[in-house]
Amino acid sequence: MAESGNTSGFDYLRLFLSISVLAWHSAGIVYGRDQSFFLAGSPLGHLTFLILPMFFALSGFLVASSLVRSRTLIEFLGLRILRLVPALAVEICLSALVLGPIMTSFNIQSYFTDYEFISYFLNIVGLIHFQLPGVFLSNPIPSIVNGSLWTVPFELECYIALAALWILRLRGSGPAALVALVLWSGLLGTRLLMGAYEPIGPDALNGRLLVAYFLAGVCLYQYRYRIPSDVRLFVVAFAVSLVMIKSKSAILLSPLFVAYATAYVGLLRPKKLPLIFSGDYSYGIYLYAFPIQQTVYALVPQSHGWVPHFLLSLAATAALAAFSWHTIEKPLLRLKRHLRFESDVIAAEFSPGSGHKTSRWRLPKVGLGRPNDVSDPDAAAAPERPRHRT
């Protein structure tokens, strides 16, 4: 990796996965959910079902680095909120206040006084609502404004799990992360055996299972110096992942295989293309793709085919993702230095000379990476700070 700690492999992987989600959604938006279910049931479904697990495993790997580097829980949670919530809030407001009034079949007064309009803003705090009054009623996937938001509550559960590790003073503990993964998978497995849980949906995995992939990513980060980086292990892990990902009897064993394959690709160092990587556009693509895709289908009849719909949607989504990064995400990330200043003040209160107890976590220094091999997911647009061992 680069000396700055950034990893181009993770940057390419995030962008590839976000565009893959857009491409997958294009099939359903153009041809309807039945066609989406058909494709999911085909051999192609083994690849498409891997997209979100890899996303969550990648997130677990990178966010774990933020967890270990943060001085206090307030800093960690503050960085997560700063990275995710403002851009989400802007997208929700633009959908409700700009896109909705343009696309609704209701009159304006009825639109703004409808309960669906008010409740849509609850998406900002993770209470997911997909509909705006009278919007996209005639599309093949009717009434859904942003179907991608269904993963938000499960992402919040992932951060709650990491906060729990912090509160238990286990944030840098590899065994604790592994135990958390085993317990979570065991709980899901028990419910599966009782017939109270279905891990595999018609076109995606159950959201609670995605939390297991996140925890697997955390485990890989904690043990990254002990696990060898080997292309042969990557091939085996990816092949096993493809087989297990749609097997109801084996899928609960897949998270560590998926996490290894994801981390291996992320830790590669391909040369960055300046035009593409002038910013981190993957989050903006995730936020804006689905409403843009629904709008393209509704307004452009010539796009009623997978290829033209995908290309038009990708171009419009990329423009909005660039807008989100350069006007919202990047400027707000500069505020992280203030969070870290407050964190240092709080940490000083618990320094060895303050009379409070502290604990230090030391990571092993052998194996799958070097100290600068992992990019800080909160590092963009803010200066490097001295790294403290925590």
Question: d(Cα 2, Cα 328) in Å, to the nearest integer?
Answer: 26
Q: Is the pLDDT of residue 352 over 90?
A: no
Q: Is the pLDDT of residue 272 over 70?
A: yes
Tens-digit pLDDT profile for residues 206-241: 889 999 999 999 999 999 889 998 999 999 999 999
What is the model's pTM? 0.85
Q: Which of 109, 68, 75, 99 is nearest to 338 (CA)?
A: 75
355, with CB counted inside 10 A (0-12, 13-18, 19+), is: exposed
Sign of CA dihedral 158, 125, 315, 116: positive
Question: d(Cα 212, Cα 188) in Å, to the nearest integer?
Answer: 9
Q: Give the angle subtended at the CA of 344 by the CAs of 340 and 345, to the nearest 5°.
A: 120
Q: What per-residue confidence (pLDDT) applies to 378?
A: 55
**Residue written as token pair 């960085």:** 79
- For 50-82, the DSSP string reads HHHHHHHHHHHHHHHHHHHH-SSHHHHHHHHHH
Please report, as a single letter, which amino acid is at residue 178: L
Q: Is the pLDDT of residue 242 over 50?
A: yes
